[in-house]
Chains A and B, each alone.
Chain A
Amino acid sequence: MSSKNPVRTAPRYVAPVEDSALGAVDAVRVSDKKSNLWLDAWRDLRKRPMFWISSVLILFIVFVALFPGVFTSAPPNDDCWLSADPGRDHNPFAASNGAPAPGHPLGFTKQGCDIFSRMVHGTATSLSVGIISALIVATMGILMGGLAGFFGGWVDSVLMRIGDIFFAIPYILAAVVVMSVFSAHRNVWVIALAIGAFAWPSTSRILRSEVLRIKQSDYVMASTALGLSRIKVLARHVLPNSIAPVIVVTTISLAAGITAEATLSFLGVGLPNHIMSWGNDISAAQNDLRNNPMTLIYPSIALSITVLAFIMLGETLREALDPRARALR
């Protein structure tokens, strides 16, 4: 029988009957690679050149900070005049803003200090301010954000309003006030505290929203149903599963801490002059910008590369730890 309408007689596709039981479809083979957020992130990270570049840079910077003596033997501070090249007609001022000389690859500052040596020795200061302030930010952020998100109710309201207050003061301005008041006792700890004490609210907000999300998941409900105490649920299940964004943001706040120290030193309320830091060196060189720009440029390069390394690491971690971002790529 011939049809006028070809569509009606066109063969239809019928999928073959799937014989395997539902359980087999969902089953995970034991021999499959184990996986969790961190393993997935690591598998993703190790393929990224940016991750390796930033990690190697950071390891190198940490090494410089720990062992400055490996890189330079020129005295960086106090005895600056001594480092002047004695061959140059015994003029003690020869080294002031001096050009590079053998053993002094980048030349001298206005005070006759070896620029390269000061850069190497300043690494530890900048890095420790960054690390301490980032630790303060992370601790405060986890404490406030974790408690607020997990307990909710009035705890949440009170902690978040406190956070709002600290958030409303830009942390560098707050640090300017704190450092002005503490002008007599400026050191690495005080400056890190001044930065960290006002920089934590953004971390706590991020953790809070993550905790609110994790709190809804089935495994948290299950562990509550099994009779785990609230604190244990928080410590064992909620925090470990919501910590990833905090790690990302802490890496970036470390970079921000280093920048903040340099900015405060540049403004003249940072570390006292006898403590070597890149910020201090940049600040000291600014009046001579016209005649001797490199005195300012070299520590700026060291500062920028360090900050770049941590921001690059933070960015790659952010992309690797976010499953949604990974799926989009």
Chain B
Amino acid sequence: MAGYIVRRVLQIIPVFIGTTLLIYFLVFALPGDPILALFGDKTPNPAVLARLRDQYHLNEPFLVQYWYYITGIFQGDFGTSFNGQPVSEQLSRAFPITIRLAVLAVLIELIVGISVGLVAGLRKGGIFDASSLVVSLILISLPIFVIGFVAQFGLAIKLGWFRTTVSQGAPLQDLILPAIVLASVNLAVTLRLTRASVLDTGNQDFVRMAWGKGLPTRRVIPVHILRNSLIPVTTSLAADFGILMVGATVTEGIFNVRGVGGTLFQAIKLHENATVVSFVTVMVILYIIVNLFIDLLYAVLDPRIRYVK
């Protein structure tokens, strides 16, 4: 296991360098004035421009610029946002809110997705199975901002069950509606994957054996079928995380949550490109770390993974 962990950790180093280099290249090496591009539509003061050129080491070769940037990242310096605040400061304020929203969304996604997927898989071909497949197909096709707006208009504005936007401190009861919206995208994927996985596990010899030796349903389904069906669902969580971050940007924007996604949303809307780039970098690094963590978790859950090179 230790060897596996070391191997996986070593594998993310080139990925980490590559992604940061790629983002840096996109922003600073493409044709056009990168500093002007950082300001988007606004025209900055020439003195500010000169200072920023200096600050970003633009007069030095590309790789030297990149070196400054990446050593900064390792020291927790993600750059400065448009209004002069360090991005790390903005992040530390926004993170707790986003984590609360994301945990709530993932909980909804897992509880609903796995239980519906389990029932659908156990009763394959039934009316519940068919309707859950149709509903999940529709859910996959709906872009998250459409779900967000429809939920905001229908459930919050028309019916008044929820607050339209989330208030300042983002208390938990305000976050329920955004969390449902955020969960809805991955929910369909989790549901379909659980269903397929339950069908697959249900045909395995050890499940037939468990039924055959007369184990009660309440033991076969949770212990033999469900537990073994959840392994692929775990890996899909890694891919889901990318969708979750994009989804959080849109959802927090719609419901005015002042989390990481909401801050990024505002920055994109206001063309504050410096903030955008810093936030995207942070999200990508987070994505790599979460992927690593879920890979390791996968190896813990399924011993076969550890032994394959």
Contact = CB atoms under 8 A, between A and B. Distances in A.
Given A168-B291, A263-B250, A267-B268, A177 B26 contact: yes
Q: Of residues A176, A269, A303, which shows the largest number of chain B Cβ atoms within 10 Å of its Cβ?
A: A176
B8 to A, nearest CB: 12
Nearest to A178: B26
Contact of A168 (B138, B144, B245, B287): B287
Contacts of B140: 311
Interface in B227-278: 242-243, 245-246, 249-250, 253-254, 265, 268-269, 271, 273, 276-277
A267 B251 CA distance: 11
Contact of B37 (A166, A181, A293): A181
Nearest to B253: A267
B153 A289 contact: yes
B9 to A, nearest CB: 14
A289 B37 CA distance: 32
Nearest to B125: A329
A303 B250 CA distance: 17
A291 to B, nearest CB: 10
B119 interface: no
B143 interface: yes
A300 B146 contact: yes
A176 B143 contact: no
Given A165-B22, A169-B284, A173-B245, A282 B142 contact: no
Nearest to B41: A183
A172 B144 CA distance: 13
A169 B18 CA distance: 10
Contacts of B41: 183
Nearest to B34: A181
A170 B18 contact: no
A162 B18 CA distance: 8
Contacts of A168: 15, 18-19, 284, 287-288, 291
B152 to A, nearest CB: 7
Contact of A165 (B19, B149, B277): B19
Task: Report, as a range, how many residues of chain A touch the other chain.
Answer: 35 or more
A303 B143 contact: yes
A181 B26 CA distance: 8
B32 A181 contact: yes
A164 B280 contact: no
Interface string A291-328: 00100110010011001100110010000000000000
B152 A289 contact: yes
A180 B249 CA distance: 16
Given A177-B276, A183-B271, A266-B250, A308 B37 contact: no
B91 interface: no
B19 A169 contact: yes
A312 B37 contact: no
Given A161-B14, A282-B146, A308 B137 contact: yes
A180 B273 contact: yes
- The majority secondary structure among interface residues of chain A is helix
A166 B291 CA distance: 14
Contacts of B15: 161, 164-165, 168
B150 interface: yes
B18 A165 contact: yes
B283 interface: yes
A315 B138 CA distance: 12
Contacts of A282: 145-146, 149
A307 B143 CA distance: 9
Interface in A246-265: 255, 259, 262-263
Given A304-B141, A315-B137, A180 B37 contact: yes
A308 B140 CA distance: 8
B225 to A, nearest CB: 17
B145 A266 contact: yes
Nearest to A301: B146
B149 A176 contact: no
A12 interface: no
Nearest to A266: B145
A176 B277 CA distance: 9
9 contacts: A170-B283, A173-B283, A177-B277, A178-B26, A183-B41, A268-B268, A268-B271, A290-B157, A311-B137
Interface of A: 161-162, 164-166, 168-170, 172-174, 176-178, 180-184, 255, 259, 262-263, 266-269, 282, 286, 289-290, 293, 296-297, 300, 303-304, 307-308, 311-312, 315
Given A255-B141, A296-B149, 17 more contacts: A164-B15, A166-B22, A169-B280, A169-B287, A170-B245, A170-B284, A173-B245, A173-B249, A177-B277, A180-B277, A181-B27, A181-B32, A266-B143, A268-B271, A282-B146, A304-B143, A308-B137
Interface of B: 14-15, 18-19, 22-23, 26-27, 30, 32, 34, 37, 40-41, 137-138, 140-146, 149-150, 152-153, 157, 242-243, 245-246, 249-250, 253-254, 265, 268-269, 271, 273, 276-277, 280, 283-284, 287-288, 291
